[in-house]
Structure 1
Amino acid sequence: MQRLLGGALKFGNHVFRGKRHLFESLQKGQKPTALFITCADSRICPTLITQTDPGELFVIRNAGNIVPPAGSAGGEAATIEYAINALGIRDIIVCGHSHCGAMAGALDHPDGIEGLPFLSQWLRHVAAARGVVLAEYAGAPREQQLEILTEANVLLQIEHLSTHPVVARALARDELDIHGWIYRFETGHISSFELATGKFREISELLNELPADAESVPGLAADFRSSPMIRAIRGD
């Protein structure tokens, strides 16, 4: 706790002063450019890995970067609704990460984790992805299964995200784009799901391949269901 107190003091005395104009401008309101949905894991800092300032990202964090389907209880639906309808956000990023404890729990303990009943119930939102991974990669090493589950879970949560009426409407009007990311903290690299190849590819590669007139790496928009992994998860 002493480290946190010291950090708070340093922020007020030094960091804040260096960015006083930024922080003073924030009292007028926020205009984030994206909703960033990621894991609660302490090894991830959304603003650090995207090099953004306060006010640029609207963030949802929970164990496993999970988005329960529409109709589920919880604060995720309210936050998504506010992001789109009140803040006018046009990009949503679902970001998983390497060595995720929640994904390991979902993979290794399908019947629940002893002593963690609430987490066990929460991880039921990963079950469809786990089922596909075990069916299609039954003979793969456990570490490979975990990596594939982490990727499949990002796509599953994007599928869940699309069931929310506010998201479905925005996608239908071409007012929203959705991006699936994987952050690997051991390398610092971020991969984005590319619909054309059906794979997560490093952002640096995707940016290098962009046409000169392209503004950004394309997201999944309403076409994400054409992904073989999504079709397998949906049982199509």
Structure 2
Amino acid sequence: MSMQDMVKGVEKFRINYFCSHQEMFGRLAQGQAPQVLFITCSDSRIDPNLITQTQPGELFVIRNVGNIIPPFGTANFTEAAAIEYAIQALGIKDIIICGHSHCGAMKGLLQLGSLSQEMPLVYEWLHHYAAATRRLVQDNYQEYEGEELLSLTVKENVLTQIENLETYPVIRSRLRSGQLFLHAWVYEIESGNVIAYNANLGQFVPIKDPLPVPDPIASARSGLSELMEF
């Protein structure tokens, strides 16, 4: 899509969609009250509002390369500030971390050394903040390769980011008091399906009930490799 097409799209939005939803936008102009924080990848192929069929104002969204949340106390404050605002100012009740199939960031993570010259900033981002995922995959999935390995890496990365979320004091506090729930999703671009981490099974399964993720540190994740058919 060219810039000219995008400008035409803006005008089409204003004339058609905006005009037919003026009441909704009038309410949104007075403030926002989303109940869900949706954390996902910057990849252009994933659209949080589209796959969840939500309206403007219903999701608070954080996007970056690889849907990564640096642990609390690291030098990167961008994601931390957004999380703090979502919890403290907006009173978010649920947090979804959503990875996706064919993720370029996870492909890069599996061959990290090749990024250092061509994309040094991407290399630094993944090297510093996705090292735990990379090590976990290297140590536990040596028998896998290609698309199978990439799929497992995507899933393990989502669970690792759930663990990183739990390092934030405000999140741990609200999890303990039952005021907040965490959810781990993976969106499959080729099928339109979403699979979610099932707290009872300890595995990713096709999404049905919004079961929250238990404390991943205390939960076995050995079943991931058995779910390649999903």
Q: Same fold (TM over 0.5)?
A: yes
1:158 aligns with 2:151: no
1:149 aligns with 2:153: yes
Percent identical among aligned pairs is 45
Counterpart of 2:228 in structure 1 is none
SS of 2:7 mapped into structure 1: helix
CA distance in 2, matches of 1:18, 1:34: 25
Within 5 A, what are the aligned runs for 1:79-228? 79-110=82-113, 112-124=115-127, 125-203=129-207, 206-207=208-209, 217-221=210-214, 223-228=215-220
Alignment check: 8 A CA contact 1:105 1:113 kept: no
Q: CA deviation at 1:74?
A: 2.6
The answer for unaligned runs of 5 or more in structure 1 is 208-216, 231-236
The CA deviation string for residues 48-107 of structure 1, in whole angstroms up to 9 with x for no partner, is 100000000000000000000001223100110110111000100000000000000001
Read off the aligned partner of 1:71 and give its amino acid letter. Answer: G
RMSD between superposed Cα atoms in Å: 1.5
Which of 42-51 and 161-170 deviates more?
Answer: 161-170
> Does structure 2 retain, via aligned residues, the 8 Å contact 1:64–1:100?
yes
Q: Which runs of 4+ in 1 moved over 6 A?
A: none
In the TM superposition, residue 112 of structure 1 has moved relative to its aligned partner by 4.2
Whole-angstrom distance in 2 between the partners of 1:176 and 1:185: 28
Contact 1:195 1:224 in 2 (8 A): no
Q: TM-score, normalised by structure 2?
A: 0.90
1:31 Cα deviation (Å)? 0.5
TM-score, L = length of structure 1: 0.88
Match of 1:53 among 33, 52, 55: 55
Please list every run of 5 or more consecutive structure 2 residues that lacks an aligned counterpart in the other structure: 223-230
- How far apart are residue 174 of structure 1 and its match? 1.4
Would the aligned equivalents of 2:67 and 2:98 in 1 still touch at CA under 8 Å? yes
Deviation at 1:225, TM superposition (A): 2.4
One-letter amino acid of the counterpart of residue 212, structure 2: G
Residue of structure 2 in register with 1:69 after alignment = 71
Q: Report the count of equivalent residues.
A: 218
The answer (yes or no) to whether the contact 1:94–1:157 under 8 Å persists in 2 is yes
Opposite residue 153 of structure 1, the aligned amino acid is N
CA contact (8 A) 2:45 2:189 kept: yes
Equivalent-residue separation in structure 2 for 1:70 and 1:199 (angstroms)? 26
Relative to structure 1, the CA distance from residue 66 to residue 43 in structure 2 (aligned partners, 3 Å threshold; closer, same or farther) is: same
Would you say the 8 A contact 1:112–1:121 is kept in 2? no
Q: Supply the distance in 2 between the matched residues of 1:113 and 1:4 (Cα, whole angstroms).
A: 34
